[in-house]
Amino acid sequence: MNKTVLQISPEVQSALEEGRGVVALESTIITHGMPYPQNRDTAQQVEQAVRDAGAVPATIAVLDGQITVGLSAEQLESLSTTKSAMKLSRADLAMAVSKRAMGSTTVAATMIAADLAGIRVFATGGIGGVHQGAEDSFDISADLHELSRTKVTVICAGAKAILDLPKTLEVLETLGVPVLTYQQDDLPAFWSRDSGIDSPLRVDTVNDIVEFMQARDALNIDGGVLIANPVPATHEIPRHEMATFIEQAIQESQQAGIKGKSVTPWLLGRIVELSDGKSLICNQALITNNARLAGELACSL
């Protein structure tokens, strides 16, 4: 690895050297997932939640072609306000590096960077997955393949509920990605605690997760682990309430011809409008909740 491409902040570097807990955080939610200033405020809250749990946050983005692990307050602010950041996944991460561009990392690209830096725990809001209508569009997020090959444990609130959740779960199973739901049997659905689908696996404590990861190490099984952590009950929006917004947003996106990388940001933005801002507040709460659990896990490892 050419070390000049990877820029690890001094705080994250010393935490890694001392074997303290470090949690990777993504940046596409900052540039493409939320409006300003909620994106910046959420990024700060999420970092604070990691610290409150006793770990060190490492928000990851590409700045001037450098994969930057651990952002300063100024770097976070400029990422929050820019309109020109590339949304990076496995396929285009190297283009941002070679062109010395600015880019935010999705779940897939953040996993790659976390792995390069030696970070094993990563918190996000919701992973990408199989889109509704994928049988025609073939739109399946690269997050799923990344989970199957890169050894990082990703804590999310489930796959984003704009997706086809049963198909997403099937692809994860085919790829051999374990899905462990935290403290309940039902798979969470991002803004909602329940999806109506049984989770393949369940864990009840942080120690359960640690032991599962250790067992995978002992078996020499490659790839990531997905932890689904339900949104706190105080902030959830019930599934039936979200269903109308999701359906309307998807219909409008198809009429507007939204395709490719724009689909997820477009839908999330439209759902914030349709829900009168409620989905945004919920999204902030669930990612902060995931950061807390990730912080606890990183400290226990």
Contact 27, 109 (CB under 8 A): no
How many CA atoms are closer than 13 Å to the CA of 15, on its beta-carbon side? 25
Q: What is residue 202's three-state secondary structure?
A: strand
The contact set with ligand PSU (CB under 6 A) reads: 26, 28-29, 32-33, 106-107, 124-126, 128, 141, 143, 261, 264, 268, 283, 287
User: How far is Cα 244 from Cα 82, in angstroms, rounded to an integer?
Assistant: 32
Residue that has been written with the tokens 């994860």 in this structure: 172
User: Which sign, positive or negative, has the C-alpha torsion 210, 211, 214, 220?
Assistant: negative
Q: How far is the CB of 57 from ligand PSU (least distance, A)?
A: 16
Out of Mn ion, ligand PSU, none, which partner does residue 106 contact, by CB within 5 to 8 A per kind? ligand PSU
User: How far is Cα 113 from Cα 127, in angstroms, rounded to an integer?
Assistant: 16
Q: Which stretch binds Mn ion (CB under 5 A): 32-40, 64-72, 139-147, 169-177?
A: 139-147
Instruction: Indicate the residue among 54 and 133 with the shorter CB distance to ligand PSU.
Output: 133
Instruction: Indicate the residue among 120 and 131 with the shorter CB distance to ligand PSU.
Output: 131
Contact 242, 191 (CB under 8 A): yes
Is residue 146 among the annotated active site residues? no
* Contact flag: residue 139 with Mn ion (CB under 5 A): yes
Out of Mn ion, ligand PSU, none, which partner does residue 225 contact, by CB within 5 to 8 A per kind? none
Instruction: Indicate the residue among 57 and 125 with the shorter CB distance to ligand PSU.
Output: 125
Instruction: Indicate the residue among 128 and 188 with the shorter CB distance to ligand PSU.
Output: 128
* Contact flag: residue 143 with Mn ion (CB under 5 A): no
Q: How far is the CB of 263 from ligand PSU (least distance, A)?
A: 6
Out of ligand PSU, Mn ion, none, which partner does residue 195 contact, by CB within 5 to 8 A per kind? none
Is residue 160 among the annotated active site residues? yes
User: How far is Cα 109 from Cα 79, in angstroms, rounded to an integer?
Assistant: 16
Please identify which of the residues 47, 146, 160, 296 carries the catalytic annotation.
Answer: 160
> 127 has which bridge partners?
159
Alpha helices in 63-130 (DSSP H): 73-81, 93-98, 107-117
Query: Which residues, including other chains, have CB under 8 Å from residue 145's CB and lie 6 or more apart?
Result: 90, 108, 175
Q: What is residue 96's three-state secondary structure?
A: helix
Q: How far is the CB of 247 from ligand PSU (least distance, A)?
A: 18
Residue that has been written with the tokens 């939320």 in this structure: 34
Angle in degrees, 0-180, between the axes of helices 278-300 and 38-52, rounded to the nearest 10: 30
Please identify which of the residues 26, 47, 236, 296 carries the catalytic annotation.
Answer: 26
Q: How far is the CB of 29 from ligand PSU (least distance, A)?
A: 4
Instruction: Indicate the residue among 13 and 182 with the shorter CB distance to ligand PSU.
Output: 182
Q: How far is the CB of 144 from ligand PSU (least distance, A)?
A: 9
Binding residues for Mn ion, rule: CB under 5 A, are: 139
The catalytic residues are 26, 160
